[in-house]
């Protein structure tokens, strides 16, 4: 392995600009004559708009204009859409309510924008926004998904009965019922997967500029997928034709899913910039982000696991209500369906699975994909059921898992997925060794002597990444294909630019993608640049989410490199006066088999461009190749996380005393970066399990609407993590990569709750398991300990 090749812990190319303050995030971009947009947002969760009076606001200093939803409609700016069609079990299509970028007649959640002030400065814009007079007729609201479908619940969208978007199912209901009828043991759980606010540290931002001379619009935005943003804004919103709209997502400060989606503010900035002939910038403040970024999770589930007398799982069934908020966000429909129920087999051989999902509207912010997206919810259901079942059956949790692991591949689950490679026991075994599970009983006794309760929790998760084979997702309702593109441009001097349709917002693609190219072409790591995030520079691509950039994005680069090598061999054959079939390429050198004739990669690159050794009839000059790679299967990263937790009996406060993660990500390009992804994922999952929760009041006010109310994990809330790897290659892509971006967030909530419930001896415990919640659970479980 070379110092910068595949498998090396290469330090990141992108770091220099970030550690010196020279990163270029959207809000750092300034255009001449730039104005600032400030949105007027609804303070009510549910209300009719009776009137909007902008006259006083328009008269304020520095105000250029104040625009409303009525004008947006007059200008025929289209609605935002959800791009994944789900059909209910009765065959009817999902009920997508209109989602205008500015509400004209009715608001459906707190933070819904009703007008926008365009001013010279943010301060002036905020002053003027306070002068916009909106008269509301306040309606009663519903925020709890369990109450959204009830008779008499407030109806949010006029033609959508019972606030129900779809009633979907997957699996064989009858066969599952029969399996339950034959079960010796059934474990039942009621589970709430708590609602989360993604909170990437960089708030969303958009800067739009219109060039009247060319009729071109440019949007700088905080996007994980600028091409998809352009497609939606062009084709559905109808802002401008695709070729007249350029979307640039420069440095983006974290996404975690929340920056996949197309948001109202981007649409409004574009519209206003063209209307007012001035660049328009909007930068969210954190309070706006809490109200308007798409939230994550928010499931209510009843789940059951059927087992025979030997601890063999016979079937699993689940009924879930998924809260999608006030409007259907860009990919919201897919999260509680094909990203959730398809993973309910976990790492286990489960003959029958049946899952029903009702998706509902509520008067809350839209809910969409957040790190893991459906798979954390599935893992939580499966791993909680398995853990509780083991305790009820008096089996070691590891033993129950071992008895049920999928052991031969390929393995077709009853819920669509075909697992292609893995060794689940190997990961669990290694994790148990690293976590010293054997020594746990002793540690538990020692903790008890200090008045502490200790618990151990496993989570043997699986996820489907490498999103995704286009035909497969198309058949499931996706409005797009999920291939990825790469263009490899070899320059005449032999340096290389790779244009990728993926987008990095913390993942380090500039480093890992360059490692691949450097190793494959035998050229210095520093001779490779990765270009992404600009629709004018890069061919269409699908962006980054779903741990897809390694498995799909790098596979596209491999395919383009194959073509580069093939073309370069033709050039080398002319240069070296040999038959093309005799040219070999290794370590950056082309040689003629059986001779000492050779040419370095750089010499061949130069010859490809000067084209002195061949005629145009024989070979086209140049050395640039493109590939659109469509995967043939999902990839299936899997592993085992073990959380050891200590609980203070007096306060209920949990302390994670040890965290072990052993993951099988297939091929690892850069272990340093992969470990970093695992750490960050675990932190988000621990945040969900112990402290995070978006709380709405019954009236629809977001009570946890700032960092003072919504508990983000801080350094002292977390331990250092012990991270290990096992490896089975993903057979479906040329590098054998499975993906690592979401694993930590998928695995960790179940490990934490399994550990706490192990410590305090309860079966159920809602997330977030705050000190208060754990203390209360302790009092219920062991009332004698109440002081």
Which residues in 270-289 contact other proteins (CB under 8 A)?
283, 285-287
Tell me the window of 248-256, 433-441, 689-697, 774-782 that interacts with other proteins (CB under 8 A). Answer: 248-256
- Minimum separation from the CB atom of position 256 to other proteins (A): 7
Binding mask 491-520 for other proteins (x = CB under 8 A): --------------xxxx------------
Which residues in 5-24 contact other proteins (CB under 8 A)?
11-12, 14-24
- Minimum separation from the CB atom of position 47 to other proteins (A): 25
**How many residues touch other proteins (CB under 8 A)?**
58
19 three-state secondary structure: helix
Token pair of 764, please?
């159920």
For 53, the enclosing helix (H) or strand (E) is strand 47-53
Question: Between the CA of residue 445 and those of 441, 654, 782, what are the distances in Å?
Answer: 6, 17, 18
Integer-rounded Cα Rg, in Å, for the chain is: 27
Closer of 22 and 412 to other proteins (Cβ): 22
Q: Which of 147, 707, 771, 781 binds other proteins (CB under 8 A)?
A: 707
User: What is the full DSSP assignment across 746-764?
Assistant: HHHHHHHHHHHHHHHT-S-
684 forms part of the interface with other proteins (CB under 8 A):
yes
Which residue's structure tokens are 């960092």?
A: 707
- Residue 367 and residue 377: Cα distance in Å, rounded? 14
Q: Which of 90, 586, 720, 786 binds other proteins (CB under 8 A)?
A: 720
Q: Residue 774, Cα to own-chain centre: how many angstroms?
A: 29
Q: Which of 4, 6, 8, 27 binds other proteins (CB under 8 A)?
A: 27
Q: Taking Cα atoms as reference points, which of 374, 372, 371, 395 lies closest to residue 305? A: 395
Q: Which of 1, 3, 161, 201 binds other proteins (CB under 8 A)?
A: 201
- Minimum separation from the CB atom of position 505 to other proteins (A): 6
User: What is the full DSSP assignment across 345-400?
Assistant: TTTB--SEEEEEEEEE--SS--B---TTTTHHHHHHHHHHHHHHHHHHTT--HHHH
Q: Residue 720, Cα to own-chain centre: how many angstroms?
A: 24
Tell me the window of 266-274, 556-564, 571-579, 717-725 that interacts with other proteins (CB under 8 A). Answer: 717-725
Tell me the window of 186-194, 253-261, 519-527, 759-767 that interacts with other proteins (CB under 8 A). Answer: 253-261
200 forms part of the interface with other proteins (CB under 8 A):
yes
Which residue's structure tokens are 């919103």?
A: 237
Closer of 667 and 677 to other proteins (Cβ): 677
Q: Which of 254, 474, 492, 734 binds other proteins (CB under 8 A)?
A: 254
52 has which bridge partners? 134
Q: Taking Cα atoms as reference points, which of 249, 279, 275, 244 lies closest to residue 262? A: 249
252 forms part of the interface with other proteins (CB under 8 A):
yes
With a CB cutoff of 8 Å and minimum separation 6, the contacts of 255 are: 198, 200, 222, 224, 505, 506, 544, 545
Tell me the window of 155-163, 232-240, 245-253, 596-604 that interacts with other proteins (CB under 8 A). Answer: 245-253
716 forms part of the interface with other proteins (CB under 8 A):
yes
Q: Which of 39, 84, 166, 256 binds other proteins (CB under 8 A)?
A: 256
32 forms part of the interface with other proteins (CB under 8 A):
no
- Residue 303 and residue 311: Cα distance in Å, rounded? 18
Q: Which of 324, 673, 765, 777 binds other proteins (CB under 8 A)?
A: 673
Burial class (CB in 10 A: 0-12, 13-18, 19+), 158: exposed
Q: Which of 6, 8, 25, 689 binds other proteins (CB under 8 A)?
A: 25
- Minimum separation from the CB atom of position 287 to other proteins (A): 6
Binding residues for other proteins, rule: CB under 8 A, are: 11-12, 14-25, 27-28, 30, 123, 199-203, 251-254, 256, 283, 285-287, 505-508, 672-673, 675-676, 679-684, 706-708, 712-716, 718, 720-721, 744
């Amino acid at each position: 392995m070379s110092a910068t090749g595949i498998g090396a812990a290469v330090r990141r190319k992108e770091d220099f600009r970030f550690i010196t303050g020279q990163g270029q995030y959207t809000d750092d971009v300034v255009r001449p004559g730039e104005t600032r947009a400030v949105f007027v947002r609804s303070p009510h969760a549910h209300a009719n708009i009776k009137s909007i009076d902008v006259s006083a606001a328009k008269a304020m200093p520095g105000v250029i204009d104040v625009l409303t939803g009525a004008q947006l409609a007059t200008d025929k700016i289209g609605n935002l859409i959800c791009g994944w069609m789900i059909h209910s079990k009765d065959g009817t299509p999902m009920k997508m309510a209109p989602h205008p970028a500015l509400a004209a007649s009715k608001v459906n959640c707190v933070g819904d924008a009703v007008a926008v002030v365009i001013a010279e400065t943010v301060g002036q814009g905020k002053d003027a926004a306070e002068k916009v007079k909106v008269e509301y007729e306040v309606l009663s609201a519903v925020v709890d998904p369990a109450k959204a479908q009830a008779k008499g619940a407030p109806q949010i969208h006029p033609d959508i009965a019972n606030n129900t978007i779809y009633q979907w199912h997957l699996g064989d209901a009858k066969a599952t019922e029969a399996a339950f009828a034959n079960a010796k043991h059934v474990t039942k759980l009621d589970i709430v997967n708590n609602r989360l606010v993604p909170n990437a540290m960089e708030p969303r931002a958009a800067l739009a500029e219109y060039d009247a001379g060319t009729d071109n619009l440019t949007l700088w935005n905080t996007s994980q997928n600028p091409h998809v943003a352009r497609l939606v804004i062009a084709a559905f919103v109808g802002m401008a034709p695709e070729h007249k709209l350029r979307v640039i997502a420069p440095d983006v400060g974290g996404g975690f899913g929340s920056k996949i989606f197309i948001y109202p503010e981007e649409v409004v900035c574009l519209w206003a910039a063209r209307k007012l002939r001035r660049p328009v910038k909007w930068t969210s403040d954190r309070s706006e982000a809490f109200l308007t970024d798409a939230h994550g999770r928010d499931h209510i589930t009843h789940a059951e696991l059927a087992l025979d007398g030997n601890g063999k799982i016979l079937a699993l069934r689940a009924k879930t209500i998924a809260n999608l908020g006030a409007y259907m966000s860009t990919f919201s429909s897919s999260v509680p369906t094909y990203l959730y129920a398809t993973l309910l087999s976990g790492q286990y051989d489960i003959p029958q699975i049946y899952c029903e999902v009702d998706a509902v509207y509520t008067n809350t912010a839209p809910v969409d994909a957040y790190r893991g997206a459906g798979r954390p919810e599935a893992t939580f259901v499966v791993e909680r059921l398995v853990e509780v079942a083991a305790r009820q059956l008096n089996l070691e949790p590891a033993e129950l898992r071992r008895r049920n692991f999928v052991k031969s591949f390929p393995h077709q689950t009853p819920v669509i997925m075909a697992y292609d490679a893995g060794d689940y026991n190997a990961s669990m075994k290694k994790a148990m060794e690293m976590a010293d599970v054997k020594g746990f009983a002793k540690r538990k006794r020692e903790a008890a002597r200090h008045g502490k309760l200790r618990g151990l929790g496993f989570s043997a998760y699986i996820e489907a990444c490498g999103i995704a084979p286009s035909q497969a997702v198309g058949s499931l309702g996706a409005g797009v294909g999920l291939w990825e593109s790469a263009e490899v441009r070899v320059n005449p001097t032999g340096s290389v630019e790779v244009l990728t349709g993926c987008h990095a917002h913390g993942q380090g693609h500039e480093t890992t993608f360059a490692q691949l190219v450097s190793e494959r072409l035998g050229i210095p790591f520093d001779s490779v640049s990765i270009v992404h995030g600009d629709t004018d520079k890069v061919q269409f691509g699908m962006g980054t989410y779903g741990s897809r950039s390694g498995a799909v994005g790098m596979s596209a680069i491999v395919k383009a490199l194959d073509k580069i090598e093939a073309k370069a061999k033709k050039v080398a054959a002319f240069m070296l006066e040999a038959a093309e079939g005799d040219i070999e390429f290794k370590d950056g050198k082309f040689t003629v088999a059986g001779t000492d004739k050779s040419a370095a990669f750089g010499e061949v690159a130069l010859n490809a461009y000067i084209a002195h050794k061949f005629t145009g009839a024989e070979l086209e000059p140049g050395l640039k190749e493109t590939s659109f790679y469509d995967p043939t299967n999902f990839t299936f990263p899997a592993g085992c996380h073990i959380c050891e937790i200590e609980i203070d009996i007096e306060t209920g406060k949990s302390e994670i005393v040890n965290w072990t993660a052993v993951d099988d990500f297939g091929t690892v390009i850069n272990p340093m970066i992969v470990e970093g992804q695992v750490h960050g994922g675990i932190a988000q999952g621990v945040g969900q399990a112990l402290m995070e929760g978006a709380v709405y009041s019954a009236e629809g006010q977001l009570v946890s609407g700032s960092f003072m109310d919504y508990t983000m994990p801080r350094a002292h809330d977390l331990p250092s993590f012990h991270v290990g790897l096992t490896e089975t290659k993903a057979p479906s892509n040329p590098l054998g990569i499975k993906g690592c971006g979401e694993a930590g967030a998928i695995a960790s909530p179940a490990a934490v709750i399994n550990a706490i419930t192990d410590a305090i001896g309860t079966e159920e415990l809602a997330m977030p398991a705050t000190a208060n919640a754990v203390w209360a659970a302790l009092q219920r479980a062991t009332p004698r300990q109440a002081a």
